[in-house]
Chain A
Amino acid sequence: MTEKMRNLRDGYSSALIELGHQNEDIVVVDADLALSTKTKRFGTIFSNRFFDFGVAEANMMGAAAGFATCGKIVFASTFAVFATGRCYDQIRQSIAYPNLNVKIVATHAGISVGGDGASHQMLEDIALMRVLPNMVVVTPTDATEIEDIIPQVAKHQGPCYVRMGRADSPVLFGKHEDFTLGKAKILEDGNDVTLIGTGTMVSETLKARKLLKKDKINAQVILIHTLKPIDQDTIKKAARKTGCIVTAEEHSIIGGLGSAVSEALDMHPVPLKRIGVPDVFGESGEAKDLVKKYGLTAENIGEAARELVRLK
């Protein structure tokens, strides 16, 4: 079976260009990674509304805040590790606290960055951004979905963090499948266990469902792109229906999707297993080998699900 692959950055930059045509107030800033993040495509068309700040992310975030105070909707892009790690204080003080319209869209998140190694494999960004008041956090699934989500992010009043990986991802959705910021989407129904995936791990949850079928386990699959505010209703309903949950994310198991889902279930707990990178830094390697070594595959999700079903 060959899947159709497409890079989320292509979806992002196409959405930006579309927005740029519709709205004069869209401004894009980058920090010497405009070719990698693909914001350069916007910059080529709207050169007066594109600003490259060089290798100076903190200054870029501050300037993005300044633009936003003047009525601009600012998209600020760089790699996830720099966007959130290096600029945490700038985001906290100059963007989130004043609740400004800055949309931080970060690429190259997660361990599948590959060869660059741990210095570039951002596994803590969801945790960092999720804890900030006013911040909306989104990890889109595929290039089609991100094209749907970006205009909603632009429309939302206030700061947003949008995260994507580096690698091409399987195209799971056709055009205009109605993705709504803040709303989870049930991709497959089932009664025995719920698999909740985000970002690059959504396709793995779908594969896991097929694996589980062979064991006569009927898994429900839920896609969560908006980690904050998280769709509590859908999560609670799923917990009631299947009684156990596996979460899957390309992020540390601390502070990301697994944590957010557990928090949503605080008064209605059910057994839950978190698939993610354990509390360690990554390393260089091929993406496909890294996801195996760090336990981010459909097999890992399936194993966790079987264990939960056995416990029932």
Chain B
Amino acid sequence: MYPPKIIKNLQKRALTIRKHVVDSIYLAGSGHPGGSLSITDILTCLYFHEMHHDPKNPQMETRDRLVLSKGHSAPALYAALAEAGYFEVKALNKLRKINQFLQGHPSISVPGVEISTGSLGQGLSVGIGMALAGKLDKKDYHVFVILGDGEIDEGQIWEAAASASHFKLNNLIAILDRNGLQIDGPTEEIMSLEPIPLRWRAFGWHVLEIDGHDIEEILMSFDEAKKSMKPTLIIAHTIKGKGVSFMEGTLSFHGKSPTKEQWVKALSELEQEEQELYD
């Protein structure tokens, strides 16, 4: 039960980030729009509501940590960080360009990026180290890790899943971007993952399922996760390419930039949606 105003503001913010995603990937000439757009609402809720953090002091010891384990969605992370004030928004226009700091995949040298990622399957382990350090230092921060559904094919994810419950890391919250697609096709055709909730519960996790584009459900899932005595997996049902009609649910926009015409169309769709929100 969140006030409509909070929800509306987050929706507006998410649209701004979606526009940055489309712009920056178009200008870069390459990148991954599909998986960036599917986690935009989640990232927005994290950086503009949920997480305790300070863009002017990225190393603040008590900050909540976010690990973008599915590093190819960097454009959405960079847009959120820029909008939050970690660096200038105009830097987004130089994504993937030589002599610039926004690398194709997240690099720890970017203010606000907690760990370099890009090779799938490693971020949950890194989050476990952060969560263990929090317990050791008696700091009450939370560690959020965003995983792709194709990504959890990786064996290391399951090593990590086992160790998170073993070490009783209730300060660890993983969010699964359940958009149903990996590169070669739908996840259940390429390498079946279901029953995901049962698998993770069997590994000792608290599991929630939400609509990953419903701001209120996202916020409420964080509230519930923080009450858990176990590590929590939030299965966020999402749409790959969310917000741009011709990218939604399509495999081909996993990892390619829009053409000029597509870019114009994408922006006009997002602007249209924005208009409706402001009415």
Q: List B50-65 residues whose CB lies under 8 Å from chain A.
A: 61, 65
Question: B125 interface residue, CB < 8 Å from A?
Answer: yes
Question: A65-73, A120-128, A141-149: which one contacts chain B?
Answer: A65-73
Q: Can you list, as one digit per residue, whether each of A54-65 has a CB less than 8 Å from chain B (1) or not (0)?
A: 101011111111
> Inter-chain contact count A-B, CB under 8 Å?
106
Interface contact B122-A93, CB-CB below 8 Å:
yes
When the two chains form their complex, are residues A63 and B128 in contact, meaning their CB atoms are under 8 A apart? yes
Q: Is B115 in contact with chain A by the CB < 8 A criterion?
A: yes
B163 interfacial by beta-carbon distance below 8 Å: yes
Q: What secondary structure prevails in chain B residues at the interface with A?
A: helix
Q: CB of B255 within 8 A of chain A?
A: no
Cα distance A61–B137 when bound, in Å? Answer: 20
* Contact A94:B133 (CB < 8 A) given known A59-B156, A63-B163: no
**Taking the nearest CB of chain A, how far is it from the CB of B265, in angstroms?**
36
- Interface residue? A161 (CB, 8 A): no
The distance in angstroms between the C-alpha atoms of A48 and B132, with both chains bound, is 10
Residue of A nearest to B141 (CB): A70
Q: What distance in Å separates the Cβ of A90 from its nearest Cβ neighbour in chain B?
A: 6
- Chain A nearest CB from B144 CB (Å) reads 13
C-alpha gap A28/B115 in the complex (Å): 20
Q: Does B160 contact A (CB under 8 A)?
A: yes
Given A69-B114, A97-B116, the answer on whether A51 and B132 have CB atoms closer than 8 Å is yes
| Cβ contact within 8 Å between A56 and B162 | yes
Write out the residue numbers on chain A whose beta carbons fall within 8 Å of the beta carbon of B123.
62
Residues of chain B within 8 A of A58, CB atoms compared: 122, 125, 155-156, 159
Any chain B CB within 8 A of the CB of A98?
yes
A67:B160 contact, CB within 8 angstroms: no
Cα A62 to Cα B132 with chains together (Å): 12
Q: How far is the CA of A113 from the CA of B131 in the complex (A)?
A: 36
Judge if B134 is at the interface, Cβ distance under 8 Å: yes
Judging by beta carbons under 8 Å apart, are A70 and B129 in contact?
yes
Q: Is the pair B156, A67 in contact by a Cβ cutoff of 8 Å? A: no
Cα(A132)–Cα(B210), bound, Å:
41
Chain A residue nearest to B106 (CB atoms) is A98
B110-149 interface code vs A (CB 8 A; 1 in, 0 out): 0000111111001111111111111011000000000000
- Does B198 interact with chain A (Cβ within 8 Å)? no
Are A69 and B117 within 8 A (Cβ)?
A: no
- What's the minimum C-beta distance from B151 to chain A, rounded to whole angstroms? 13
User: In this assembly, does A294 line the interface, its C-beta being within 8 Å of a C-beta of chain B?
Assistant: no
Give 1 or 0 for each of B94-118: 1 = CB within 8 Å of chain A CB.
Answer: 0000000000000110000011111
- A89 near B: Cβ within 8 Å? yes
Complex A-B: 11 CB contacts under 8 Å: A51-B167, A62-B125, A62-B160, A64-B129, A65-B125, A66-B130, A70-B134, A71-B133, A74-B129, A90-B122, A94-B117
- Shortest 7 CB-CB contacts between residues of A and residues of B: A66-B129, A62-B125, A70-B133, A59-B159, A63-B129, A56-B159, A98-B108
